[in-house]
Amino acid sequence: MSRLFVCVLISVVFAYDARAFIVPLFDNGQVQPGCYNPPEIPHNLTTRPQRWRDASAGPPLVTRQSGKAWSGWQNVEYLFTFGDSYTSTSFNIHGPQPNPQNPLGNPAYPGATSADGPNYVDFLTTTYNQSFIRTFNLGYGGATIDPSLVGSPYGLIVQSFRQQVQEEFIPTYATNSGVEWSGSNSLFTDVILSYTQRNSTLNFLLIKSYENLVHQLYAAGARNFLFLNVPPIDRSPGTLARDKAAQQSMAGYIGEFNFRLILLVYNLAVNYPATTVWLFDTNWLFSRLLDNGPLAFRETSGYANLTDYCVAYQHGTPTLTSLDPSCGVPVNAYLWLNDLHPTYPVHNLIASEIVQQITR
Ligand SMILES: *[C@@H]1O[C@H](CO)[C@@H](O)[C@H](O)[C@H]1NC(C)=O
Ligand SMILES: *[C@@H]1O[C@H](CO)[C@@H](O)[C@H](O)[C@H]1NC(C)=O
Ligand SMILES: *[C@@H]1O[C@H](CO)[C@@H](O)[C@H](O)[C@H]1NC(C)=O
Ligand SMILES: *[C@@H]1O[C@H](CO)[C@@H](O)[C@H](O)[C@H]1NC(C)=O
């Protein structure tokens, strides 16, 4: 069986009035595929740094429609994120909810991520925020879009995007939640890896399912959506280890998926004029970094190795700048932590670019 990794990032941000939150009993921390307990964050990384940006880099803007419900990034109070290990911070919806001490609720900031440090959701919430944002991160390591189409290789415990919407977001936060929310000041985000045979028919079905779930979020009141497309996983170490034909086939599949995602976003904007919709071109951003090198962006200027990962780092490291002699350079000088997941500097770049896109 050949495996295909597709990352879909959907973003949806909601604005809510903060009222009483239901705080169910905390059962246990989740250990999610591809997510590791990250190193301790030095205090200064979580406070607002200057906004880093290479002025020559064009905006990865594909689509934007402004609906009435959007009153600006500076007014976002609630962020709902969906996805897989690129997104997950291992939030447990039964644990402590987002609060002033931890805007992501649980586990301790930045959560267990796949980035060996804060991921783009963490950076959006605590670094590039222009307001206090409570983030409900429903992303789950290993998630696919819809298990009836493509099951996760990690089994039934994995919460797919469908389950994140239908079994978590809707029952816990949309209805009976004790949290009164409206569509304004809200945003949604998602990254999904789907493991499957490359097949155009299946791609179509996946996007239909994705679209159907977005419609369910709309029906629940969501109005502001940020979609992130699939990065060039065909250029990740896991795929580079395979033959040329496999790489080209993966690139073609991702290209087709991303094209269909454009249609999804376009249709959403046309059919629901009340929505504010962005499509963030993660694929463009990664490709530019890989083509032009680390200096293409300030956030990635510390990278020394864009092509490979170091085995000693692949399951995470004790600090943000850990150095194992067998790796030559510190962990944060590697773009890739392992065969599929990038390290935190590129998540910083993603978040920085997202905020520039949605504030322009
Ligand atoms: C964070 O603080 C440490 C220790 O004070 C310092 O060495 C480092 O340069 C700081 N990092 C940033 C990004 O400001
Ligand atoms: C950004 O988020 C941090 C962490 O929640 C918070 O301390 C800070 O006040 C927020 N910034 C603004 C401008 O509200
Ligand atoms: C493509 O995927 C669809 C949906 O899973 C399946 O019914 C069909 O048999 C697949 N086609 C090929 C050629 O694998
Ligand atoms: C990148 O890292 C791998 C694994 O440590 C190493 O084999 C390779 O030589 C490095 N490449 C560069 C350009 O440093």
The set of residues, in sequence order, having a beta carbon less than 8 Å from that of 272 and lying 6+ positions away, is: 67, 218
Task: Using the mean position of ligand 3's atoms as its centre, give its distance from the Cα of residue 106 in Å.
Answer: 40
- Asked if residue 269 has its Cβ within 6 Å of ligand 4, the reply is no
- Ligand 2 pocket by C-beta < 6 Å: which residues? 103, 126, 129-132
Q: Helices (DSSP H) in the chain: which residue ranges?
A: 43-46, 120-126, 161-163, 200-219, 237-240, 244-271, 282-292, 344-358
Domains and CATH numbers, the chain: 2-358 (3.40.50)
Predicted pLDDT at 42: 66
- Alpha-carbon span 159 to 170, nearest angstrom: 14
Give residues with Cβ within 8 angstroms of 101, minimum separation 6.
none
The first and second tokens of residue 196, run together, are 């499957």
Percent of the chain with pLDDT over 90: 42
pLDDT in tens, 266-319: 888 888 988 888 888 888 899 999 999 999 999 999 999 999 999 999 999 999
pLDDT single digits (tens) 128-165: 999 999 999 999 988 888 888 887 777 788 888 999 99
Judge whether 41 and 115 are in contact, CB under 8 Å: no
Q: Which ligand is nearest to the CA of 125?
A: 2
Q: How far is the CA of 308 from the centre of ligand 4 (A)?
A: 6
| The pair of three-digit structure tokens given for residue 205, joined into one six-digit string | 């079905």
CA of 99 to the centre of ligand 2 (A): 12
Q: Could you tell me if the CB of 279 is within 6 A of ligand 4?
A: no
pLDDT at 4 over 70: no
The CB of 339 under 6 Å from ligand 4? The reply is: no
Confidence of residue 35 (pLDDT cuts 50, 70, 90): confident
Residue 182 has pLDDT above 70, yes or no: no
SS3 252: helix
**Atom 3 of ligand 3: nearest residue by CA position:** 202
Query: In the predicted model, what is the mean pLDDT of the chain?
Result: 79
> In degrees, to the nearest 5, what angle opens at C-alpha 286 toward C-alphas 258 and 191?
50
DSSP state of 300: G
Mutational pocket test of ligand 2: of 44, 132, 137, the residue with most ligand atoms within 8 Å of the beta carbon = 132
For the whole model, what pTM was predicted?
Answer: 0.85
- CA 258 to ligand 1 centroid distance, Å: 38
- Cα of 143 vs centre of ligand 2, distance in Å, is 30
User: Over the stretch 224-261, which tens digit does the pLDDT of each residue have?
Assistant: 999 888 888 889 999 999 999 888 888 888 888 888 88
CA–CA separation, 175 and 39 (whole Å):
36
pLDDT at 61 over 50: no
Q: Whose CA is nearest to atom 11 of ligand 1?
A: 44
Q: Is the pLDDT of residue 25 over 60?
A: no
